[in-house]
A and B are shown apart, each in its own frame.
Chain A
Amino acid sequence: MTLSKELVAASTIPLVLSLLAHDDSYGYALIKRIRELSGERIAWSDGMLYPVLRRLESQGLIASYWNKAPSGRRRRYYRIETPGRQELDRLIEQWSLVSTVFTRLQKESPPCSN
């Protein structure tokens, strides 16, 4: 099973914000972490992450800074800002609402089966 394109697009921002809420990180590490956590089933195409990060930064939800990577190259790290945390709370609420409704529906009425 893999996620549909639409669901990937909708879940990218909450996932990125959640990851950054734990710890500052950089592009490649974010993608690797999602791959690991989803058991390789959420496979973002790497490139699509960057426009999302730019947008979140321009909205002030996250901020970026440069640091030296162990390899010696300079690396751009991202950290979550206060508005980002507030947005994350909002998104988590929305996702759990959908999830709750979904779960209840599954319990109350069995799926249609002819």
Chain B
Amino acid sequence: MSQVRVLVGTKKGAFILSADGKRQTWEVSGPFFGGWEIYHMKASPADPNRVYAAQSSGWFGQLIQRSNDGGKTWDPVDNKFVYDGTPGSHQWYDGTPHPWEFKRVWHLEPSLTDPDTVYAGVEDAAIFRTTDGGKSWHELPGLRGHGSGPHWQPGAGGMCLHTIILDPSDPQRIFIAISAAGAFRTDDGGATWRPINQGLVSSFMPNPNAEVGHCVHHVAMHRARPGVLFMQKHWDVMRSDNAGDSWREVSGNLPTDFGFVIDVHAHEPETIFVVPIKSDSEHYPPEGKLRVFRSRTGGGEWEPLDKGLPQRDCYVNVLRDAMAVDSLDSCGIYFGTTGGQVYASADGGDSWNAIVRDLPAVLSVEVQTIA
């Protein structure tokens, strides 16, 4: 029978939630790396027992942990992230030049085919890669070397590269997103990159339509349609039908189009999910009601999903990497909150249950569907 493993990164450690394909009874293991921030944890699609975790702390810096047995045991691998060449500078919050400084790894994206190859998105924004299972990390400098680099500026959470999407149909194509520079794409395996932000409008910028500077919160793609991208921007939910060459807004009837997460149903490429958050100054759901919104039309028309979710006095946030889907026949959707709950739906979002309610603040959620 199929098994589902939910990998949860929190402010104070990692947890692994496991269930069989019915997804009714869950086993919780952890905390792993107790007391440390786990910004992200993700397994290799090519080897479900190979899992990588980004472990960090304000005291002791960045570590990368690797498991070869599905998260039962872990060993630290190389944690040396050094920018290629002279790092140069980007803009600070006040617009003055600020040297590039490595702070932490936000996102780990294992290769679709090789368990030893992993991409890492870091703060200050850059992309690194290992091809030896984490024994060494090397920057792909073409991204920071893009001419716009000196104009990038941090978002409130830091200047982080938080999203990495590998195109299953083209191993040379990778999408990434940076707060607050925008989205970028490479078509040559990471050697060169170009901004893909046409159609994004950010009113806080001097030029709201600028090529870079947009605060992209997250991007999602369905494996079967790698040219279609969905984006939760700081404000606005966006869609691209040409691999990011241009975007159009699909916020439609959402109660607010601010938010962090966005994801796509495993079997319905036009079904997408977001969690609207009231505003950028109030990071909690509108009206104290935690609701997932689902569009079955690829955006534009949205329906609230609230069965099983708290509908009063709820003021948690759902951070950008904290939603994921499984690939069972009835698609499961999962998200974690800053209040420590991990909610799951085994019926495509129609109803929800809390797998756990009292974890530390959840930073990230990933799901493995194991045959």
A and B assemble together: no
Residue ranges of A at the interface with B (Cβ–Cβ < 8 Å) = none
